[in-house]
Chains A and B, each alone.
Chain A
Amino acid sequence: MKQTASIISTYSADVMGVCSALFELGGMTIMHDASGCNSTYTTHEETRWYDMDSRVYISGISEIEAIMGDDEKLIGDIEDAASELHPAFIAIAGTPIPTMVGFDFEAVAEVIEMRTGIPTFGFPTTGMNTYIHGASMALGGIAERFVEAPEEDPEPLEGRKLRVNILGLTPLDFSVNGQDGSIVRWLEDEGFEVVSRWAMGSTLDEIRRSAQADVNLVVSAAGYGAARVLFERFGMPYAIGVPAGNELPGLLADLIRIKVQEFRNDGQNSATFESREISIDSGVFLDGSTGRDGSTYEQGFAAVIGEGVSSLSIASSIEMECGIPAKVLCATECPEDILRECDRMTPDEDDIIPELHGAAYVIADPLYKPIVPQGAKFIPLPSEAFSGRIYRDEIPDLIKDFNWLIQQL
């Protein structure tokens, strides 16, 4: 209950996740907040802020507006701005104060949409969850509202490339150092065709055509919301994983090809969202066997701290390629069923510290370094979602070159 961080940083919050996910799609995003969220987002979270004129604003809610429940001020301000800026959509994302005063996101969004004629979302973020929660919610909203149903029945898979949407791409997890492009290249090299990239490098029109894809690739937990909606609307299966490693990406590509065909053959009748997941079974040492130099998940292991999907992919590749048990300490929201028995959800500093006992390697953002136990080798893997812009120039592209990491183990 102490919820303290005496030394380390904190992850980007849900409200920023909404902004980041929608940044390139031509909408107008409003953080319903007094002040502070805007400068934090634009300084630390949004590497594209200087170069792309995306419309992200705060409402500047005052004490009296909050107490009196004066939603009309916000609605009017949004109307004014929309009439000048003509966004493709409007999104309102919440922070602690709207949460406390019971702001009705859905109703306000509906009123704004009615008055402006512009599709409007009300995302009930609180500023108390991580960016993953917000980005997932936002991309889920886009999937619900903008993806168009294909006019024709699904095209047979034979004789053509499999089509893929990449879900969960934001600079918070993938920076702007080319990792998004590396994922695209990997897919193309594996013979896939990329339909859309949610949401770095795709326009809203490209995203609208996402239902033309055969499968979604969820590269961070931020892509889950959209994956679920696209399954529910179009029955699309989804693969989970970041193609980081020398072996895992190939296995994942093969599995996607096999499973998509299998799912197509099965039809959609009894399918559940979970049953349409495509992922590599990992956890090489879960059977109790030991790794290099007798290492186990308790002693001599590698700890990978960070976002769930990418950390799991990295941990899996370390196990496969280095023979070292690698456990994920996931500090952001993540569907629990993708984590293995050895992995842990560790939202607070107090949760992480005990899990590092016995680690031979800690792979994490540099701002975790102060809590790394003596004797463990620290391998910095900066994440904008944790340290913002501080180590931006040092973020590696593990999709392009996983050996950078292997060589340090």
Chain B
Amino acid sequence: MLKKVYEKESGSVVPGVRVADAAFPAPFKSGLEYSSPARGTWNIVHTGMLIPEAHEIFVCAAGCLRGVVLTAAEMGTTDRVSTVAVRENNLLDGDMEDLVIEGVSDIIGKLPHRPPAVLVYTSCVHHFTGVDLEMIYARLRERFPDIDFTDCYMNPIMRKSGLTPDQLMRSRLYMLLHERPLDPRAAAIIGNDIPAQEDSDLVQLLRAAGFRIHEITSCRNYEEYQEMAESSFYISYNPDAAPGGDMLAERLGGTHHYLRFSFDPDEIDAEFSKLAEVLSAASANVFDALADIRTRGREASAAAIRETRELIGDTPVTIDYTFCPRPLGLARFLLDNGFNVVRVYLDGIPGADKPDFEYLRENYPDLMLHPTVHTGMRFANTENRQAADQELVLAVGQKAAYFENTDHFVNVVEGGGMTGYEAITHTLELMRDAYLHTQEMRELVQIKGLGCEVCLH
């Protein structure tokens, strides 16, 4: 039986549902949406900046441009972003193609340096007016043959149909790679905003098996970025990166492998075995390397579980979906290992989390699920202020920290570059640290794009 952390005030409008009563994959009715102040996740401006030396040009209405330019300004990269404002007359005059072509050309002409690549972001209005994007890019490539152009999109209206804007953006990161001979001993980790941790199981495995590793987050210039094209293997572990991996394989001819992110030791073993199988085409010792990592990983994670449980005991733990791609997987892992997970914040249940969802329904039916965008969540932080003063709640993820109003939190987004057993040991280490030390939650969670300084080469 889960411990009840605090009683909600009567009349609370903060929504929540026991996991046993929750529907899959949408536990909460969709409706008006709230936006919490937790801002650590990346947006398309941050992600585009990962291509070194590239210039971003956004063609949208002023309201949409605003978030773009201020994202760049807060990163200190206003020199890498320009805008073309779409006005009402452009909708009526049907001159949208001209606006893009002439606007982009005007900007390129004004830039102090010729960028090797330009990302042109069109928006919902272009989509709805049936703008001829193919013609636009053909014309731009004609005018500027020395510049690589790629199509990017700021069309959130498409987030509920087809590839999401996030998936599209991650796929665009690799569209500028020029084909070159593949090197069987080169592998690219793709689709991440946050670099893979050097001590993560994935990086350890690739290094031990003799692969040269490319990752966009470590490219210092456009030439280094182009060197990624020599990779024979493209490995993704962010679910939103997988479509881009498939596109890359189709275009450049390497092999894409999606490594499912997990906190379950058996699943970790199975996933890494599949990866080793793929890599074995180019590396004879990959299985030996994996066996070694696995042995060390199991020992280290068992020790980390013991140490963490002894330290934090029954402290209520809450988790949100921005921490990693498998929030319910993490809840399951922690509950199975004796931790007091009381709430998980998510708006939908990712497909990969379905087995965990079913398991939790069966074994921990009182675990509460809360949304993050439901209108009532506007009041969660305020409602929890008093409770937060009375009892330490440990939050894993920024949104959980904000809703719980706790300074004891793990400040990581998108899995933080962790994989395999290292994801277990590192997460537990961060939880111990969060238990022992406070951080300035209010200030930290409001910073956009946690870790985006990786773009500033």
A64 to B123, CA, bound (A): 16
Against B, the Cβ 8 Å flags (1 = close, 0 = not) of A51-69 are 0010101111111101000
Q: Can you list 28 residue pairs at the A/B interface with Cβ under 8 Å?
A: A4-B83, A4-B106, A4-B110, A5-B69, A10-B62, A10-B83, A16-B63, A16-B66, A35-B157, A36-B154, A37-B64, A39-B35, A43-B70, A44-B70, A50-B446, A62-B159, A64-B160, A81-B32, A84-B13, A96-B60, A96-B63, A96-B64, A96-B125, A99-B91, A128-B62, A128-B88, A367-B78, A390-B70
Residue of B nearest to A60 (CB): B33
The residue from B13, B32, B79, B379 contacting A58, defined by CB atoms under 8 A apart: B32
Evaluate contact between B33 and A62: CB separation under 8 angstroms: no
The answer to whether A9 and B73 have CB atoms under 8 Å apart is yes
B-side residues, CB < 8 A to A, are 13, 29-37, 39, 43, 60-67, 69-70, 73-74, 78-79, 82-88, 91, 95, 98-99, 102-103, 106-107, 110-111, 123-125, 127-129, 154-161, 373, 375-376, 378-379, 382, 442, 446, 448
Chain A residues whose C-beta falls within 8 Å of the C-beta of B35 in the assembled complex: 38-39, 41-42, 58
What's the minimum C-beta distance from B450 to chain A, rounded to whole angstroms?
Answer: 14
8 tightest A-B CB contacts, nearest first: A127-B63, A13-B63, A40-B67, A35-B156, A34-B157, A38-B35, A57-B32, A77-B31
Name which residue of chain B comes closest to A14, CB basis.
B63
Q: Which residues of B contact A41 (CB under 8 A)?
A: 35
Q: Which residues of B contact A2 (CB under 8 A)?
A: 84, 99, 102-103, 106
Which residues on A sit within 8 Å (CB–CB) of B442?
A: 50
Residues of chain B within 8 A of A44, CB atoms compared: 66-67, 70
Contact B67 A39 (CB under 8 A): yes
Residue A30 at the chain B interface, CB threshold 8 Å: yes
Q: How far is the CA of A37 from the CA of B83 in the complex (A)?
A: 17
Q: Which residues of A contact B66 (CB under 8 A)?
A: 9-13, 16, 40, 44-45
Q: Across the interface, do A34 and B156 meet the contact criterion of CB distance under 8 Å?
A: yes
Which of B13, B36, B128, B161 lies in contact with A64, CB distance below 8 A?
A: B161
Beyond known contacts A1-B98, A58-B33: 10 more, CB 8 A cutoff:
A7-B78, A16-B66, A35-B33, A36-B64, A77-B32, A81-B375, A96-B124, A96-B125, A126-B61, A390-B73
Interface membership of A275, Cβ < 8 A: no
A337, chain B: closest CB distance, angstroms: 23
Q: Judging by beta carbons under 8 Å apart, are B70 and A128 in contact? A: no
Asked whether B157 lies within 8 Å of A62 as measured between CB atoms, the reply is yes
In the assembled complex, how far is the CB of residue B8 from the closest CB belonging to chain A, in whole angstroms? 14
A407 within 8 A of B: no
Q: A344-355 vs B: 1/0 string, CB under 8 Å?
A: 000010000000
Contact A43 B37, beta carbon cutoff 8 Å: yes
Chain B residues with Cβ under 8 A from A101's Cβ? 128
Partner pick for A128 among B83, B85, B124, CB 8 A cutoff:
B85
Tell me the complex Cα distance, A60–B36, Å: 15
Looking at the assembled complex, report how far the CB atom of A145 sits from the nearest CB atom of chain B, in whole angstroms.
22
Q: Answer yes or no: A314 CB below 8 A from chain B CBs.
A: no
Whether the pair A4, B87 counts as a contact (CB closer than 8 A) is no
Query: Are A59 and B32 in contact, CB atoms less than 8 angstroms apart?
Result: yes
Q: Give Cα distance in the complex from A101 to B124, angstroms.
A: 12
- Take A58-B32, A370-B78 as given contacts and tell me if A128 and B67 are in contact as well, using a CB distance cutoff of 8 Å: no
| Chain A count of residues within 8 A CB distance of the other chain | 66
Query: How far, in whole Å, are A16 and B70 apart by their CA atoms in the complex?
Result: 15
For the complex, is A85 an interface residue (Cβ under 8 Å from B)? yes
Chain A residue contacts of B60, Cβ below 8 A: 96
The contact of B375 among A14, A49, A55, A126, by CB within 8 Å, is A55
Complex Cα spacing A50 to B79, Å: 30
A97-136 vs B: 1/0 string, CB under 8 Å?
Answer: 1011100000000000000000000000011111000000
Task: Judge whether B86 and A96 touch: CB under 8 Å.
Answer: yes
CB pair B61 A36 closer than 8 Å: no
Task: List, in ascending order, chain B residues with CB within 8 A of A61's CB.
Answer: 157
Question: Which residues of chain B come closer than 8 Å to A40, judged between CB atoms?
Answer: 63-64, 66-67, 70
Partner of A130, one of B62, B69, B98: B62
CB neighbours (8 Å) of B88 from chain A are 99, 126, 128
In the complex, are the beta carbons of A53 and B378 less than 8 A apart?
Answer: yes
* Chain A residues at the B interface, C-beta cutoff of 8 Å: 1-16, 30, 33-45, 49-50, 53, 55, 57-64, 66, 77-78, 80-81, 84-85, 95-97, 99-101, 126-130, 348, 367, 370, 387-388, 390
| Contact A5:B446 (CB < 8 A) given known A35-B159, A58-B33 | no
* Contacting residues, chain A, for B379 (C-beta < 8 A): 53
Bound CA span A367–B107, Å? 18
A241 to chain B: closest CB distance in Å?
A: 27
Q: A12-B66, A85-B375 are in contact. Are A387 and B73 (CB under 8 A)?
A: yes
Q: How many A-B Cβ pairs are below 8 Å?
A: 207
Q: Are A387 and B63 in contact (CB under 8 A)?
A: no
Q: Are A50 and B161 in contact (CB under 8 A)?
A: no
Chain B min CB distance to A395 (Å): 16
| Distance in angstroms between the alpha carbons of A13 and B88 in the assembled complex | 13
Q: B65 to chain A: which residues have CB within 8 Å? A: 5, 10
What chain A residues lie within 8 Å of B155 (beta carbons)? 34
Shortest CB–CB separation between residue B199 and chain A, in angstroms?
Answer: 33
Residues of A within 8 A of B37 (CB): 42-43, 49-50
Residues from chain A with a CB closer than 8 A to the CB of B91 are: 96, 99-100
The reply to whether B85 and A3 contact each other, CB–CB distance below 8 Å, is yes
Given A16-B63, A57-B32, A5:B82 Cβ within 8 A: yes
**For the complex, what is the distance from the CA of A1 to the CA of B129, rounded to whole Å?**
18
Q: A6-B107, A9-B69 are in contact. Are A128 and B87 (CB under 8 A)?
A: yes
B83 adjacent to A5 (CB under 8 Å):
yes
In the complex, the chain A residue whose C-beta lies closest to that of B87 is A128
Q: How far is the CA of A333 from the CA of B67 in the complex (A)?
A: 20
Using CB atoms, name the residue of chain B closest to A2: B106
The chain B residue sitting closest to A44, CB to CB, is B70
Chain A residue contacts of B98, Cβ below 8 A? 1
When distances are taken between beta carbons in the complex, the residues of chain B under 8 Å from A11 are 62, 66
Beta-carbon contact of B63 and A15 below 8 Å: yes
Residues in chain B near residue A126, CB distance under 8 A: 61, 88
Q: How far is the CA of A99 from the CA of B160 in the complex (A)?
A: 20
- Rounded to whole angstroms, the CA-CA distance of A384 and B422 in the bound complex is 43
What distance in Å separates the Cβ of B369 from its nearest Cβ neighbour in chain A? 19
Contact residues in B for A13 (Cβ distance below 8 Å)? 61-63, 66
Which A-chain residue is minimally distant from B448 (CB atoms)?
A43
Output the residue of B32, B67, B78 with the most chain A CB within 10 A. B32
Q: Is the CB of A63 within 8 A of B125?
A: no
Establish whether residues B86 and A57, one from each chain, have CB atoms under 8 Å apart when the complex forms.
no
Closest to A40 in B: B67
Nearest-Cβ distance from residue B270 to partner chain A, whole angstroms? 36
- Are B39 and A39 in contact, with the CB atoms below 8 A? yes
The distance from the CB of B370 to the nearest CB of chain A, in whole angstroms, is 15
Q: How many whole Å from B206's CB to the nearest CB in chain A?
A: 35
Asked if B62 contacts A53 (CB within 8 A), the reply is no
Taken together as a complex, chains A and B put the C-alpha atoms of A43 and B128 apart, in Å, by: 27
Known A-B contacts A4-B107, A6-B110; the reply to A95 vs B34 at CB < 8 A is no
CB-based contact A3/B157 at 8 Å? no
B133 to chain A, nearest CB (A): 16
Residues of B within 8 A of A16 (CB): 63, 66
Taking the nearest CB of chain A, how far is it from the CB of B430, in angstroms?
24
Closest Cβ–Cβ distance, residue A45 to chain B (whole Å): 8
Docked complex Cα distance between A12 and B64 (Å):
10
Bound CA span A132–B64, Å:
16
> A10, B69: Cβ atoms under 8 Å?
yes
A6 and B111 in contact, given A62-B160, A63-B161, A81-B375 (Cβ under 8 angstroms): yes
Find the A residue at minimum CB distance from B123. Answer: A96
- Contacts known (A16-B63, A43-B448); A7 close to B33, Cβ less than 8 A: no
Q: Which residue of A lies closest to B67 (CB)?
A: A40
- The residue in chain B whose Cβ has the minimal distance to the Cβ of A57 is B32
- Is the pair A3, B128 in contact by a Cβ cutoff of 8 Å? no
Q: CB distance B33 to A57 under 8 Å?
A: yes
